[in-house]
Chain A
Amino acid sequence: MKDMLGLEIKKGNKARCLAEAIVGPVREYISRHTTVSVERASLRLCGVDGMDQEGTPVPNIMANQLKAKTEHGAVRYLLGACLKKGMSVDEMSRAVADGFDISSVEIPDMALLEEEARKYVERMKTLVLENRKLRAEKILKYKSNENSPLLYVIVATGNIYEDARQAEAAVFQGADIVAVIRTTAQSLLDYVPFGATTEGFGGTYATGENFRIMRKTLDIAGEKAGKYIRLVNYASGLCMPEIAALGATERLDMMLNDSMYGVLFRDINMYRTFVDQHFSRLISSYADIIINTGEDNYLTTADAFEKGYTVLASQFINERFAFDAGMPSRLQGLGHAFEMDPDIPDGFLYEIAQAQLVRELFPECPLKYMPPTKHMSGNIFKGYVMNTMFNLVAKLTGQEIVLLGMLTEAIHTPFMQDRYLAIENARYILSNTASLSDEIIFRDGGIVQKRASEVMDRTLDFLGSVAERGLFESIEAGMFADIKRSASGGKGLEGVFEKSPDYWNPFEIMLKEELCIGGTK
């Protein structure tokens, strides 16, 4: 990594110490709690699937049967019931869909349970490890055909089959990553719907079936293009861990996943989110899935010039939470965005300063850089130029994952031709400025360096005051994004349980062992 900003090493270190002070107390809370969604994710990892006649997913039926017993861990009851009835998990899923109640069964001996669990844990491990291997092999094989940075586009028609067609075209045009946008309001559903979506709003549901349809499409299109195409969805909202589980088994490659987004922007209860994000990250770490954090969102509601430091602060917090889940930096796609008002004189330099600052502070992370959205307007021609400036900053500052801006951002979800124009623009910039960053340095004490150091200092001040108050209290006081959320408010608190002393979750045990968390065993 080239040092272009003359940043003092101690400042990055100090920010990390403060992030540790902020996250430490939350970590303690997380370790003592589970949630309905963590338990449903664990059931899914065992292989529980399907729905009943009313369309309620089986993992939800089981969790509803357990109620307060959830504190002991749902897998205990599932496998207990399987053993008592001599059924496999598949058979049990069907039985529960037909009305069988797993909470009614007397739980067999722990030794028996553990033996039964081993089967399912091994099965999950094999599946996930195969996915990892396949992905790694294909990426290696096709590395030379990839763009640098990777070009990320979205599909958002609301119909998964139409999305598939759009995705195929995007791959043909040169995209490396395809994200399937989620339909409005899925984040507030406390269940993961079942089956293929054909009528979503601005996107489709994250479901196992949609994941499979898209995975297959991208594998085929990728082979044609001589590339491994990465598939992205959202492990966010009330079902964060469950979607992470589906992603691990269906071979998604990236997941939008933020430690605080749901609390701030979706009014999900903070305790719920903190516990959920941890388990979802354990899964993604083990499955080698890159997370994309949501710092760009801070800038859609606040001014990007004024609030650049909130992005950086959140990145340090997200990083700390990710490390807590055994996630190496190479899986931490920390997010940021090019959202300054285009009318600010020298705005381009400020954007460079921010992007380069993030680059230098997180040298190992596959940074996810988001294009202008807020200041895009009906003037699609100007918008196209703004996207070009964005592409230029992305290349110049060595971002890894670049979400391409659409010239029609202010109007509609992308047309096929909009994506084509975006990819063509990006590839032109990437090739035309391929060595630009090796050729330039920033003037000592010039605009770029000054701005970067200002943002850094404000970040340290901000992290300092959050550390002093505590994270829960800081969110309550509206310190993030000017949004106040009370600790006991928001959605989903009723789904949080204190673990009883005999809490048992074989997947959590396995993940922590494999990732070496909380011990040196």
Chain B
Amino acid sequence: MGNVPILISNLSKVYSTAKVRVAALQDVSLSLEEGVFAAVTGASGSGKSTLLNLLGGLDTPTSGTIEVRGRKISEMSREELALYRRSGVGMIFQSFNLIPGFNALENVALPLMFAGVAKRERRNRAGEVLAQVGLGARIAHRPSELSGGEQQRVAIARALVNRPRVLLADEPTGNLDSRTSREIVTLLAELNRDQGLTVVMVTHEESLAREFAGRGVRLSDGKVQAEERWR
């Protein structure tokens, strides 16, 4: 049990609006061991993003529990969730979500600012992580001056700057061409292999998932349809 950092049990999420009730996740139970590279697949609307947002502490479940590295995030207050997002987990998205007015270095340093790190230290650490993802020469560029692949690398650097042990990626290649997609997934696989980072990646591309990931989770209509172990 010691090396089961992500433990999801009976997780449900229901979105209720004035007119409709959407059960985005229904009674999902799942466990992922430390250092795994898991790929979450499924049709559009099957609940993949919902699952990742709950894991990332961006949203709270309707019922069920989530435990990440011993911390029950399903029971955290808003304040605790902010702390968890700050350093317990890193997230990247299909649309990169960089702040347009900030350059690469400033975007990467942003989580450190909320952590109260001094400016000089922030710059040093952000520079290091950018170098790690292969963008050492692009630190002064704004997002608009970077290619899609480069933007996603900046986003990865930002997700990792506070040294979380878990990285959540919601369709990180959805906006990229196939060659760049491969580069990004390769980078994630390297981080997983070299640093023992636990990576959960949502993707449409079954072939990429099978090539790089060790575990596969298929969602359908908010339920786990299949679990596979590839390596």
Q: Do A and B come from one complex?
A: no
